[in-house]
Structure 1
């Protein structure tokens, strides 16, 4: 009973938080390729680890988190939570990350992309989100050449896919927003998954690395069951002379977010903060 009550508090705090921030419905009319009617995302009964897990997302949204004290970089960062393309760990890898970015002075956008098992739809959602942010930079005092994406686990795969395949028209244009580019200016992947699904654990075939030189930050651990993704993807970027900074700790596992108590969770934010400062000071 005690834990059920605690989880209710967490859920309603997330709900109030979302209501107090600017929530954008990405697709004003029909969602491309979606067969189910639009509805609010459903929370699963599994709240293990004080994680709010959302599923059955048919109406993708983008929630805006503005910093109290902008740092002057004019950078906006779109966050893609993980969850194996089945659910979204919306607080641990979404709202909590947005608050951390806000504390550093960055404007953050948490994406609720389509799940479960709708990878093409998820790519459409992220491409649309990037275009929406780039089309609305004046609203948040952002630079349209400083739009980045940040993904965790499956969200890391989604972020990598969108970063590389920005020239792919995954859906038909529906309005003026789609005239904007879906190309991002930097990418951050935290314990990414599914990047090594090619033959003999090589680069996943959908990840087409071109000559785009925007930088990448990648963090993982050796004992992560998905840890090979970070190594394979970094090697592919390096071989194509694309700037990449990789950090791998010996231990940490997977899915730790930035919650206290694990060295990996307490390490990557420090490194990521320094990396952001370095690329945005240029």
Structure 2
């Protein structure tokens, strides 16, 4: 990498770093792959922000060097839970503020540690699965550092990020990349999964469950939120049915209106509804108490 590219690379990381600071206190950026990125043909470089800033959304694409952005709460609860957040964007881009940093701030306000995953896009679904599996292993390996119980690490995804979270929650026994270090010997099974308006879960024949999603008795519990007017709304129904049929704990909330891609911004009934339901589900699961 020449000097000009080196400067531009690190300038871009600094910009992303301070963008995340605008939403919550972040400790660090974690690069998932210390050397070569599995299956990646392009060299490592900063992600590119698209020209589309409609809806006040930061959209990143051309991700070749996946990262986790760490958000730690000012006041922790005693649940010792960590949550990896996967923004959506149709596997083409990542809406990192609306479905990433803003969600991390909310989780921090509840006392949970959060990690926003900048996974590979565009059109790199296999690479994205590599990335979230590696992310789970890294956070589990560093659980003491972040005051997290290694058995309380979950995933939360929006739209395509919901697809990715579901894939991580059903493919954790599958080696999707060649191991590069001892961290890859650690389990990449999420301990719980939260899907907010998930997409692409019904790509099976006649809109049935996507064949890649293999549900077993080891599949973790799920929280799923969806609306009937979402064009991807069948995904939540299909996934919930499959989980129920396999006796996996699942909580589904299905509103009549709300559409798709609303994050948790005010002005949309679905966006204003799901956070309290998710907070309650997490509280029941882990019974956190706020530190004083």
Band of TM-score, shorter chain: over 0.9
Residue in 2 that maps onto 1:272: 278
Conserved 8 A contact 2:170-2:219: no
What's the counterpart of residue 136 of structure 2?
A: 130
- Partners of 1:248 and 1:32 lie apart in 2 by 37
Q: Does 1:30 align with 2:36?
A: yes
Partner Cα distance (2:117, 2:40) in 1: 17
1:5 paired residue number: none
**Ranges of 4+ aligned residues in structure 1 off by more than 6 Å:** none
How many residue pairs match? The answer is: 272
Q: Is 1:213–1:243's contact at 8 Å kept on the other side of the alignment?
A: no
Gap regions ≥5 residues in structure 1: 1-11
2:156 to 146, 150, 158: 150
1:106-160, Cα deviation, whole Å (9 max, x unpaired): 0000000000000000000000000000000010111000000000000000000
Shift of 1:14: 5.2
Shift of 1:176: 1.5
> 1:16 matched to which residue of 2?
18
SS in structure 2 opposite 1:265? helix
User: Secondary structure, in 3 states, of the residue corresponding to 1:142?
Assistant: coil
The aligned counterpart of 2:173 is 167
The alpha-carbon deviation at position 213 of structure 1 amounts to 4.8
Output the CA distance in 2 between the equivalents of 1:136 and 1:180: 11
Alignment of 1:256 onto 2:255: no
The question of 1:68 aligning with 2:74 is answered yes
Contiguous gaps of at least 5 residues in structure 2: 1-13
Tell me, yes or no, if structure 1 residue 54 matches structure 2 residue 57: no
Residue 226 of structure 2 is aligned to residue 224 of structure 1 = no
Whole-angstrom distance in 1 between the partners of 2:98 and 2:180? 33
TM-score (norm 1): 0.94
Aligned match of 1:4: none
CA deviations on 1:189-241 (whole Å, 9 max, x unpaired) are 00000000000000001111111152100000000000000000000000000
* Alpha-carbon RMSD: 1.5
- Distance in structure 2 (CA, Å) of the matches to 1:227 and 1:250: 10
Q: Secondary structure at the match of 1:21?
A: strand
TM-score w.r.t. the length of structure 2 is: 0.91
In 2, Cα distance between equivalents of 1:15 and 1:138: 23
Instruction: Kindly state the Cα deviation for residue 177 of structure 1 after the two structures are TM-superposed.
Output: 1.0
Shift of 1:15: 4.0
Deviations 1:37-70 (A, max 9, x none): 0000000000000000000000000010000000
